[in-house]
Amino acid sequence: MTAGAVAIVLAAGSGDRLGRGEPKAFLEVAGTPMVVRATEAAAACPAVGSLVVAVPRGHERSARTIVAPGKPVVVVSGGRSRHASVRAALAAVPDSASFIVCHDAARPFASPQQFVLVLGALEVTPDAAGAVPVVPVSDTVKRVRGGFVVRTEGSREELTLAQTPQAFRASALRDAHARAAQAGREFSDDAAALEWAGYRVAAVAGDPENFKITTPQDLALAELVAAERARG
């Protein structure tokens, strides 16, 4: 397995849609902040040697207090967007790193095995510069513009939903972000940046329970999932 990978954990989102007075990643799920769950999962992957955690400006000290996954951690100030936070974190990743895995702290149920899967995909797929976990789309997808359906997407067999953690060859991730910055482009995830830059990205099986917390309903669901897991 690839060794010495650096995990970037993105925890700089404001979480305005949750209606809480603190950053989303610092909110607790079953008594544990999401950023703690995310960093512990990343650190539990044997291939991850160190972590870089991007948090909202002004929350660096509190992050250093609660994030202690047992491996070296650097905390940096995130940007105004996810894309900008990744760039800030990349600046703290050692040049010697060959692999980088990026994960959103707002997905508190990502397992260490998911980190293993995406990093392992790069090892067995030499022509892939990145690897992303995906889950199938079960509903018909319609593109809507101005309140009207303008197109129904094709066969659901080729449609998936992307998750994190996503693993990358460090040189490709740095190149894609540098080129995106020069072009004034931002992307909703790092795999999209690599795709735009012309790199190939492999897909691996995701986990339906590895959902992203965005709304109060998501947070309530996360509490139910955590309680279910606690019951075994």
For residue 157, what pLDDT is reported? 84
Task: List phi, psi (to 5°) of 6.
Answer: -105, 130
For residue 154, what pLDDT is reported? 80
Find the distance separating the first CA and the last CA of the chain, reported in whole Å. 30
pLDDT > 80? residue 9: yes
Q: How sure is the predictor about 63, in pLDDT bands with cuts at 50, 70 and 90? A: very high
% of the chain with per-residue pLDDT over 90: 88
Task: List phi, psi (to 5°) of 81.
Answer: -135, 165
- With 0-12 / 13-18 / 19 or more C-beta atoms within 10 angstroms meaning exposed / middle / buried, residue 221 is middle
Q: Judging by DSSP bridges, how do beta strands 142-145 and 32-33 pair with one another?
A: unpaired
What average pLDDT does this structure show over 59-68?
Answer: 92
Return the number of other C-beta atoms located less than 10 Å from residue 198's C-beta: 11
pLDDT > 60? residue 201: yes
On average, the pLDDT of the chain sits at 94
Domain 5-230 superfamily per CATH = Spore Coat Polysaccharide Biosynthesis Protein SpsA; Chain A (3.90.550.10)
pLDDT > 60? residue 103: yes
pLDDT > 60? residue 1: no
Tell me the C-alpha distance between 155 and 151, whole Å: 13
* Ramachandran category for residue 18: left, alpha or beta (phi over 0 → left; psi -120 to 50 → alpha): alpha
What average pLDDT does this structure show over 77-85?
Answer: 93
pLDDT 10s digits, 186-199: 999 999 999 999 99
The amino acid at residue 152 is T
Q: How sure is the predictor about 2, in pLDDT bands with cuts at 50, 70 and 90? A: low
What average pLDDT does this structure show over 19-45?
Answer: 93
User: What global pTM score does this model have?
Assistant: 0.94
Tell me the C-alpha distance between 53 and 68, whole Å: 11
Of 14-18, 69-73, 143-147, 212-216, least confident by mean pLDDT is: 14-18
Where do the H-state alpha helices sit in the chain? 34-43, 60-66, 82-90, 112-124, 170-183, 190-196, 216-230
For residue 151, what pLDDT is reported? 94
% of the chain with per-residue pLDDT over 70: 99
What average pLDDT does this structure show over 85-93?
Answer: 96
Query: Taking a C-beta distance cutoff of 8 angstroms, is the pair 212, 202 a contact?
Result: no
Contacts with 180 (C-beta within 8 Å, 6 or more apart), sequence order: 83, 186, 187, 193, 196, 197
The amino acid at residue 109 is F
pLDDT 10s digits, 155-177: 888 899 999 999 999 999 999 99
For residue 3, what pLDDT is reported? 60
